[in-house]
Amino acid sequence: MRRYRIVVPILLAALVVGLGLERAKAQAPKEVLIGVLLPLTGNFASLGQQYLWSNQTVEDIVNNDYPDLNVPLGPGKGFPGLAGAAMKLVVRDDQSRGDLARTLVEQLITVNKVHWIDGEGTSGNTSIIQPVVEGYGIPLSCHPCASPTLTEKGFKWFWRTGPHDRVMVDSVFQFLKDWPKHGGPTDLKTVAVFTCDNLFCQDNHKIALEHAAQAGFKVVADLTTKTGATTLASEVQRLQAANPDVLFFVQYPAETAVFQADAKRAGWMPKVIATSNGAYSDQTWLEAQKKTNGGAAWLGRDPTAIDLASKKPSWKKVNEIYKKYSRGQEMGELAMRQITGMLWMADTINRAKSVDPAALNKAAAETNLSPEMLIIDYKGVRFNKSNQNELATGVVTQIGWDGEKHTIWPWELAKQAGYTPMYPNPSWQERDAKPKPAR
């Protein structure tokens, strides 16, 4: 029993030291501290890790000299506006849990005394930390958070450079509505909406139903599934029976794989599959489609025309930096949104020439970034009254036989991309028969 006499004090001492270290860090001068709160473990870890890599990329860009990289703070080391101060990420993992997120954000603010908070990466937990950060009065940003409600509650300190779901779902239905005038099919009349059941999915679900009606589509099926489905065979059976022309599909990568397997087994493929985020934004899912052709001709909303953006030299360079942190994974669209947002933040801090919260918020409000400085093709960054970037746009892309996304809307960008949309969706046999882009 003697050993407990030693173990208990050691544990207590470790606790004290652990918390003490945090204080010491907070006092380190000459650094701009960015509190980063992300779901690095638990259910949303696959999102959290991409945002972490993005943030590490931006930290690298700001703190190191990239002379010919045309993004904010690319050339030169540190923040010139703050006498070369470096940017330092203070990362916290909330295990995808709201109570931890809510607590850790308070730690970042009061103990670590960070100057800016970026997080939480998912709309749900972001809505929990919003009132806390608002209460303490320091800037908060979540760029890939897509729920429209985040910027509709009148928070003064919350900023978002990325587009929200309303913009993005709207672009899909705009495209479908105008497609006949631009050489598309004229016989698309019915739509089925097939979504998962959490906050993000149901936001999309609601908006999709509204826009489908506005665009003149008849909704023939509306199915919501629980996240974590082990089979979707019966759902496919119902969708097949409803026989929609367009399937509006919002599911995470795991469920998308299940859906594909079950649809293939049933031999079903609707004429058009339109998606929003979820698997379509997930780089690993996209890579996997190159081995099976399973994603060919799927179309979906994206915040950027990735085929055009990736021609920019700055995009290529940022992608190289990103791959240092992502263990070789390419920069996907979620990472692009996050990196763009973080670079905007760096620019804002630099312009504020201070880490005083009021100065930061003022600089943020005065933002007017031109599109040339971005790695994503927003029309720029400029905020409306609710701190939403009004120049963030949605585009519609389609996956081609080469496994890459191609821009098909807006029409002028589609012309630049020079890609003709595939229609209708190829059958499963055709997908199997065609050569696969990877191997």
Partner 1 sequence: MTELAQAVANGLQMGLLYALVAVGLAIIWGLMEMVNFAHGEFMMLGMFGAWWLSATLGWDPLVAMVPVGLAIYVLGVATYSQLMRRVQRGDAFAQIFATVGLLLFLQNGAVALFTSDYRFVSDTVLARLSGTQLSILGVKLGVPLLLAGLLALVLFIALYLLVDRTEFGLALQATSEDRDAAMLVGIRPQRMFAVAWGLGAALVGIAGVILANFFSVYPQVGLSFTVLAYAIVALGGFGSILGTLCAALLVGVVQSVTVVYLPPAFKDAFVFGSYLLIGLFRPQGLFGRF
Partner 2 sequence: MRRAALVAGLVVAIAYPVAVQMTGYTYFQTVGFLVLIYATLGIGWNFIGGWAGQFDFGPHIFLATGAYTAALAAVHWSWSPWLGMAAGIVVSMVICALITFPVTRLRGHYFAIATVAMWMIAQPIGATWELINGSRGLFIPLTPATSSWEAIWTLGWGGRSKAFAYYYVALGLFAAAMVLAYRVDRSKLGYYFRAIRDDQEGAEAIGIDSRVYKTLARCLTAAVFAAGGVIYGFWALAVFPDQVLEMNWAVLPMISTVLGGIGRLWGPLLGAFILIPISQVMSATLGTGPLAGRGLDVIVYGIIIMAVAAFRPNGLLSLPWARWFGRG
SS3 68: coil
Considering the complex, state which of residue 325 and residue 383 has its C-beta at the smaller distance from partner 1: 325
Report what 159 binds from partner 1, partner 2, none; CB cut-off 5-8 Å by kind: none
Does 224 interact with partner 1 (rule: CB under 8 A)?
yes
Report what 313 binds from partner 2, partner 1, none; CB cut-off 5-8 Å by kind: none
Considering the complex, state which of residue 26 and residue 254 has its C-beta at the smaller distance from partner 1: 254
Least distance from C-beta 278 to partner 1, angstroms? Answer: 11
Q: Compute the C-alpha angle 405/411/416, nearest 5°.
A: 65
SS3 389: strand
Closest-CA residue to 34 (of 81, 89, 86): 89
Considering the complex, state which of residue 275 and residue 388 has its C-beta at the smaller distance from partner 1: 275
Least distance from C-beta 173 to partner 1, angstroms? Answer: 24
Does 329 interact with partner 1 (rule: CB under 8 A)?
yes
Does 425 interact with partner 1 (rule: CB under 8 A)?
no
Residues 6+ apart with CB under 8 A from 331: 54, 283, 318, 319, 322, 323, 339
421 exposed, middle or buried (CB, 10 Å; 0-12, 13-18, 19+)? buried
Does 42 interact with partner 1 (rule: CB under 8 A)?
yes
* Cis peptide leading into residue 120 (ω within 30°): yes
Which of these ranges, 10-18, 24-32, 257-265, 402-410, lies near partner 1 under the rule CB under 8 A? 257-265
Does 228 interact with partner 1 (rule: CB under 8 A)?
yes
Q: Cα–Cα distance between 345 and 140 in angstroms, integer?
A: 10
Least distance from C-beta 277 to partner 1, angstroms? Answer: 14
Q: Cα–Cα distance between 298 and 273 in angstroms, integer?
A: 5
Q: Compute the C-alpha angle 69/419/268, nearest 5°.
A: 120
Q: Cα–Cα distance between 244 and 20 in angstroms, integer?
A: 61
Considering the complex, state which of residue 312 and residue 323 has its C-beta at the smaller distance from partner 1: 323
Give the footprint of partner 1 on residues 290-319 (CB under 8 A): 291-292
Does 234 interact with partner 1 (rule: CB under 8 A)?
yes
Contact residues for partner 1, defined by CB under 8 A: 40-43, 45-46, 48-49, 197, 223-226, 228-231, 233-235, 237-238, 241, 253-254, 257-258, 261, 264-267, 282, 284-285, 288, 291-292, 327, 329, 428-429, 432, 439
